[in-house]
Amino acid sequence: MAPEVEVQLIAVIVAAACALPGVFLVLRRMAMLSDAISHTVLLGIVLGYLLTRDLGSPLLFVGAVAMGVVTVALVELVTGTGLVREDAAIGLVFPVLFSIAVILISRFAGNVHLDVDSVLLGELVFAPFDRVRLLGLDLPRALLVGLVTLLANLLLIGLFYKELKLATFDAGLAAALGFAPALVHYGLMTMVSITAVGAFDAVGSILVIALMVAPPAAAYLLTDRLARMLLLSVLIGAASAIAGYWLAYWLDVSVAGAMATMSGVAFGLCYLFAPGRGLVAGAARRAHQRWEFAQQMLTLHLLNHEGTAEAIEECSPSRLSAHLRWPPAFAAEVVRRAEQGGLVQRRGELLTLTERGRRLAQEASLR
Amino acid sequence: MELLTALFADYTLRTVALGAALLGVVSGVLGCFAVLRRQALLGDAMSHAALPGIALAFMLTGQRDPLVLLLGAAAAAWLAALLVLGITGTSRIKEDSALALTLSVCFGFGLVLLSLLQKRPDAAQAGLKRFLFGQAAALVERDIVVMAALGLPALLCVALLWKHFKLLSFDPEYAASLGMPTGALSILLTTLIVMAIAIGLQSVGVVLMSAMLVAPAAAARQWTNRLSIMVLLAASFGALAGVSGALISATTRGFSTGPTVVLCMAAITLGSLLCAPERGLLWRWIRGRRQLAPVD
């Protein structure tokens, strides 16, 4: 495979792997834990390296995953004392662990290939050069790691779909039915941690956050069903990854940064144009409701004065604006719409209700 | 002792210490309001979002004047805060997702801009990278002047609007019922927090700046129930951590300023959580023991 294709493939797989646990983070309102975890896994990697002095050792991976879970436990420990609130606890814990990691790197590991820039940015472009052989296939290591993470996430979510779903949407019921909430919580956090570590090498810690939160948040605006949200998140994540790659290619800029930007763009598009929940749909709905309501008012007004002596005075189109306190242009437009919709008809200088208009007015007055 | 004499004699050390102290005081004071209003993590999102602001300010003006860069940073951070509030206010996205989203996307965009700058032939981007983790040793007098120009008005503002901010932090509904313009006040308070972040960018960096808002306030909270004392304590804690961290970093190899300051601050916070009278964990433990002990 050509290196460019491999890079895109890695990006897509990493994006998909991140989006899956991200869905549960977003739904469980724990998105900021991804920020904490993706920073602190660095400390696990550094400690693992200082113990083994070998960047290829599996202990680094284990240490990083463990550190992610330790971060969550520490946040809960600090929150549990009741001395600070949870958001402040997150803000206290992860900068400290990250600081220790940065200092350890520059003190003791500055000469090895482990610098802070690549931690934040990742080195996706160089991923194809780091290769492993497996089953006679020559694969980039990042691709293999990404695939394993993705499959593990798929397997875990597939096996515990029911438990995760229940614990996410109704924690109380889940506990009452005997699904240990703590077990689900820490299981999920381990999954997030493994994913962050797996993706970390290729795309850097900041992109891990973007890929874990932006696609699920975008998908959350598109659907109410968990299964659909999972699928949409994976698709949006993959699309942002590819779009980001090409943006970076054309502008010759940081690939990880461009992917994070594109995932933000994807969210922005959903935020604006999502059917039903987007800003545009909301504005259109409000505008529609405004006309509907005004037409209802008009029919009620006509019903009120129907057949009375002052009907000529009250129900002429030219006087409506004064009686209903509408600006003349608005009143004219309401009458036009109501006529078009068959709610009222004009008889000379008099507006009268049609059968449909009368029914609408009666229904509205009963409500 | 040697360090103390050096502090007064050495120009660089004095500048560094002054800058770090200024940062500590301003972020300590404003952090109290951020923590009390449950906006601890908004600071994190805002400080990450400052990165594209710095890069854009440099791209548009071509200047490396600290005032220009920090104003760019402040503008971007302020927009990010509005973005978070806008997203949570107009859609069903919750605050945590909006924060993580804004933080990572803005930071990613900042990295894109930085890598664009890197291609410039004059290699003028050198010096922008230090905003990631801060480099107190590179502070010069001009930086301090800019920091003071941003920080002192912010402190003055807090002093003048003390009652308003206090009520806004503890009981916003009551403040609104008294006819206070709560919307405008919270925007002003957010703006002041943005100023504190801008001040810290050069010495602590965008990645760790949020800790300088949260930690002094969390530490100070343990010692007192009064806002005035809490603010004063937070300011002193912040200044202490800033100065000691900056000095260690400026004199020792391999200690970047941001992480060192954060670790100093963490030590103070840990001490406060453990030892503060009444609330501290040690006190609580002793009290528990005493209750268990048999009565003579």
pLDDT per residue as tens digits for the range A108-161: 766 555 566 666 666 676 667 777 777 767 777 788 888 999 999 999 999 999
Where residue A253 falls (left for φ over 0; alpha for ψ -120 to 50; beta otherwise) is beta
Mean predicted confidence (pLDDT) in A340-345: 85
Say how far apart CA B280 and CA B286 lie, in whole Å: 10
Least confident span in A135-139, A222-226, A293-297? A135-139
Q: What is the SS3 assignment for B34? A: helix
Query: Count of A–B CB contacts within 8 Å?
Result: 200
pLDDT at A210 over 60: yes
What does the alpha-carbon distance between residue B162 and residue A259 come to, in Å, rounded to a whole number? 43
Given this model, what pLDDT does residue A121 score? Answer: 65
Q: Look at residue B156 in the predicted model and tell me its pLDDT.
A: 95
> Other C-beta atoms within 10 Å of A249: how many?
15
Residues A45-62: pLDDT tens digits?
A: 888 888 888 777 788 888
Comparing A23-27, A217-221, B126-130, the range with the smallest average pLDDT is B126-130
Q: What is the mean pLDDT of chain B?
A: 86
Interface test with A, best of B47, B83, B112 (most A CBs within 10 A): B112
Identify which of A32, A95, A220 has the shortest CB distance to residue B100: A32
- Answer for the pair B27, B147: CB distance below 8 angstroms, yes or no: no
- Among A31, A100, A107, whose Cβ lies nearest the Cβ of B96? A31
The shortest CB-CB distance from B254 to any of A35, A110, A220 is to: A110
Write out chain B's pLDDT in tens, 296 residues: 566 666 666 777 788 888 888 999 999 999 999 999 888 888 889 988 998 998 899 888 877 788 888 889 999 999 999 999 899 988 899 999 999 999 999 999 998 898 888 777 655 555 666 777 777 777 788 888 888 988 999 999 999 999 999 999 999 899 999 988 988 999 899 999 998 988 888 888 877 888 899 999 999 999 999 999 999 999 999 999 998 988 888 778 778 888 899 999 999 999 999 988 888 888 888 888 888 776 55
Q: Which residue of B has its CA nearest to A259?
A: B108
Give A210's contacts in chain B (Cβ within 8 Å).
101, 104-105, 108
Q: Both tokens of residue B118?
A: 């890197």
Q: Which residues of B touch A102 (CB under 8 A)?
A: 133, 256, 258-259
For chain B, give the longest Cα–Cα distance.
Answer: 83
Contact A214, A267 (CB under 8 A): yes
A72 contacts A57 by C-beta, under 8 angstroms: no
Nearest residue of chain B to residue A245 (CA atoms): B112
| Rg from Cα positions in chain A | 30
Give the separation between CA A290 and CA A275, rounded to whole angstroms: 19
Q: Give me the pLDDT at residue B8, please.
A: 63
Return d(Cα A121, Cα A254) in angstroms, integer: 8
**How do the domains of chain B map onto residue ranges?**
2-292
The pLDDT value given to residue A87: 86
How many residues would you count in chain A? 367
Burial class (CB in 10 A: 0-12, 13-18, 19+), B18: buried
Contact B208 A98 (CB under 8 A): yes
Contact yes or no for B104 and A260 at CB 8 A = yes
Q: Which residue of B has its CA nearest to A220?
A: B93
Q: Which residues in chain B touch residue A85, judged by CB atoms under 8 angstroms apart?
A: 35, 38, 40
Q: Give the pairing of strands A137-140 and A350-353.
A: unpaired
CA distance B215 to chain A (A): 6
Cα–chain center distance at B238? 9
User: Given CA atoms A280, B90, B195, B101 in this order, what sign does their dihedral have?
Assistant: negative
Which of A25, A75, A99, A125 has the highest number of chain B CBs within 10 A, making it the mutation to test binding with B? A99
Nearest to A39 by CA among B211, B159, B28, B217: B211
Q: Which helix (H) or strand (E) holds A139?
A: strand A137-140
Sequence-ordered list of residues with C-beta below 8 angstroms from that of A11, at least 6 positions apart, any chain: A124, A202, A203, A241, A242, A244, A245, A255, A259
Distance of alpha carbon A95 from alpha carbon B53, whole angstroms = 22
Nearest-by-Cβ selection for B100 from A34, A83, A102 = A34
SS (H, E, C) A213-236: HHHHHHHHCCCCCHHHHHHHHHHH
pLDDT for position B294: 67
Chain A residue with minimum CA distance to B39? A87
Give the HSE-up count for residue A280: Cα atoms under 13 Å, Cβ half-sphere: 8
DSSP state of A155: H
Which of B146, B150, B160 has the alpha carbon at shortest distance from B192?
Answer: B150
Please tell me the predicted confidence (pLDDT) of residue A180.
Answer: 81
CA distance B124 to B137: 19
A336 vs A313, more confident:
A336
Q: How many angstroms separate the CA atoms of A181 and A252, rounded?
A: 46
Q: What is the pLDDT of residue B270?
A: 93
> Helix, strand, or coil here: A346?
strand
Sheet strands (E) in A32-98: none
Contacts A266 to B, Cβ<8 Å: none
> According to the model, what pLDDT value does residue A304 have?
82
Residues near B238 by beta carbon (within 8 Å), at least 6 away in sequence: B23, B24, B25, B26, B27, B28, B29, B31, B212, B216, B265
Q: If you measure CA to CA, which chain A residue comes closest to B95?
A: A29
Residue numbers in B near A32 (CB within 8 A):
41, 44, 96, 99-100
Which residue on chain B is closest to A203 by alpha carbon? Answer: B108
DSSP characters for B41-69? HHHHHHHHHHHHHHHHHHHHH----HHHH
Which one has a higher pLDDT value, B77 or A182?
Answer: B77
Q: What is the pLDDT of residues B213-260, one digit of tens each?
A: 999 999 999 999 999 999 999 999 999 999 898 888 877 877 888 889
Q: What is the pLDDT of residue A2?
A: 78
Q: What does the DSSP 8-state code read for residue A307? A: T
**Any idea which residue has 């300088």 for tokens?**
B212
Could you give the CA distance from residue A117 to residue A124 in angstroms, rounded to a whole number?
13
Residue A217 pLDDT grade (very low, low, confident, very high; cuts 50, 70, 90):
very high
Is 0.90 exceeded by the ipTM?
Answer: no
The Cα of B38 is separated from the nearest Cα of chain A by a number of Å equal to: 7
Domains of chain A, first to last: 3-277 (1.10.3470.10), 280-366 (1.10.10.10)
Third-level CATH fold of B2-292: ABC transporter involved in vitamin B12 uptake, BtuC (1.10.3470)
